């Protein structure tokens, strides 16, 4: 059973790693075959993000290593793709900078011991970015797109419509990045505040525990030093006791012990 589980883990992690290799392959694909082929390759590689997650849940073989590898590969893949797309669509500088901001917030949160796990918005962002980046690559290669549309017998898009579509997809990517960055910052603030409250609560509990312990010790001390009424009476009227302790505190009358003791 253990051997089969290890094989499943290896398969899932290899699929994740394939996306990392794909990030490096996108560079020669882009410069040798153009944006359209790059866009199709991008969509093919990004699909592995769904496949590895699906298999990890199906096989119940999720691990911290897999989660870390998946996060690292996602970031590399996204940054490389946005960097290449930046040569075509300058406005993609904004999603690129926001992605770097998300990476920075993630490292900062992890350094404080907070969660670095992808948020729900982060997972949604992956698919929005897949649509936006892949779409921008395909739309920016007008001649290849025209041939594809002609081949599948769809109407040719007007260049103005293409530019509007690229702008829409760029704005969509920016919106997704902003929302994701906001969710990461909000989570970091919440987790930090929760830790502060937990620490304050622990300090208050410790203070209360120490106070109760001191009160208990005081009560025990009073109990241990309590003297009987007969002892008090004897000390009040005993000349020898007075001569011996006349320079001491009168509290000595109430202190437990014999006449010769302090």
Q: What is the CATH number of the domain that holds 176?
A: 1.20.120.1760
Whether pLDDT at 103 is above 70: yes
User: CA Rg, the chain, in Å?
Assistant: 37
Same domain? 199 vs 235: no
The C-alpha atoms of residue 147 and residue 87 are separated, in whole angstroms, by: 23
Long-range contacts from 233-238, C-beta under 8 angstroms, 24+ separation: 235/259
Q: Are 113 and 7 in contact (CB under 8 A)?
A: no
Are 14 and 135 within one domain? yes
Does residue 234 belong to any structural domain of this protein? Answer: yes
> DSSP secondary structure string, the chain?
-HHHHHHHHHHHHHHHHHHHHHHHHHHHHHHHH-HHHHHHHHHHHHHHHHHHHHHHHHHT---HHHHHHHHHHHHHHHHHHHHHHTTT-GGGHHHHHHHHHHHHHHHHHHHTT---SPPHHHHHHHHHHHHHHHHHHHHH-HHHHHHHHHHTT-PPPPHHHHHHHHHHHHHHHHHHHHHHHHHHHHHHHHHHHHHHHHHHHHHHHHHHHHHHHHHHHHHHHHHHT---HHHHHHHHH-HHHHHHHTTS-GGGGGSSS-TT--
Quick one: pLDDT at residue 120? 81
Do 120 and 250 lie in one domain? The reply is no
pLDDT tens digit sequence for 236-247: 766 776 777 666
Range of the domain at 245: 226-254
pLDDT given at position 158: 77
Is the residue at 260 inside a domain?
A: no
Neighbour count for residue 46 (Cβ, 10 Å): 22
Average pLDDT, the chain: 82
| Statement to judge: residues 233 and 110 lie in one domain | no
Q: For residue 261, tell me if it sits in a domain.
A: no
The verdict on 137 and 33 lying in the same domain is: yes
211 within domain boundaries: no
In a shared domain, residues 181 and 232: no
What pLDDT sits at residue 81? 93
Range with the lowest mean pLDDT among 50-54, 63-67, 97-101, 181-185?
A: 63-67
Does any domain span residue 213? no
Q: Does residue 126 contact residue 52 with C-beta atoms inside 8 Å?
A: no
Same domain? 141 vs 27? yes
Domain membership of residue 212 (yes or no) is: no
18 part of a folded domain? yes
Confidence of residue 195 (pLDDT cuts 50, 70, 90): confident
Same domain, 58 and 10: yes
Query: 42 and 111, same structural domain?
Result: yes
Q: Are residues 237 and 147 in the same domain?
A: no
Domain count for the chain, please give it. 2
Question: Both 230 and 152 in a single domain?
Answer: no
At 3-18, the pLDDT tens digits run 667 888 889 899 999 9
Summarised one tens digit per residue, pLDDT across range 34-91 is 898 899 899 999 998 889 888 888 888 888 888 888 888 988 999 999 999 999 889 9
Q: What is the pLDDT of residues 139-171, one digit of tens each?
A: 888 777 777 767 777 777 777 888 899 999 999
pLDDT at 260 over 50: no
- Kindly state whether residue 193 falls inside one of the protein's structural domains: yes
Residues 40 and 96 in one domain: yes
Q: pLDDT value at position 96?
A: 93
pTM: 0.70
């Amino acid at each position: 059973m253990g051997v089969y589980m290890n094989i499943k883990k290896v398969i899932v992690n290899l699929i994740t790693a394939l996306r990392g290799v794909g990030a490096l392959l996108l560079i020669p694909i882009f410069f040798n075959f153009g944006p359209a082929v790059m866009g199709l390759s991008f969509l093919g590689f990004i699909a592995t993000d769904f496949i590895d997650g699906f298999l990890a849940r199906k096989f119940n073989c999720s691990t911290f290593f897999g989660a870390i590898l998946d996060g690292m590969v996602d970031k590399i893949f996204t940054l490389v793709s946005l960097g290449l797309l930046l040569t075509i669509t300058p406005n993609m500088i904004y999603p690129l900078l926001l992605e770097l901001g998300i990476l920075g917030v993630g490292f900062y949160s992890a350094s404080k011991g907070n969660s670095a796990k992808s948020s729900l918005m982060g997972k949604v962002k992956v698919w929005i970015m897949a649509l936006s980046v892949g779409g921008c690559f395909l739309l920016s290669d007008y001649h290849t797109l025209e041939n594809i549309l002609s081949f599948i017998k769809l109407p040719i898009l007007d260049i103005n419509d293409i530019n509007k579509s690229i702008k829409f997809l760029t704005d969509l990517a920016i919106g997704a990045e902003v929302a994701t960055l906001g969710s990461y910052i909000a989570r970091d603030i919440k987790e930090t505040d929760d830790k502060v409250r937990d620490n304050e609560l622990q300090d208050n509990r410790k203070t209360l525990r120490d106070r109760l312990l001191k009160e208990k010790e005081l009560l025990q001390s009073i109990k241990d030093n309590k003297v009987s009424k007969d002892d008090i009476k004897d000390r009040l009227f005993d000349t020898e006791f007075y001569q011996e302790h006349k320079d001491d505190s009168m509290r000595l009358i109430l202190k437990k012990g014999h006449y010769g003791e302090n």
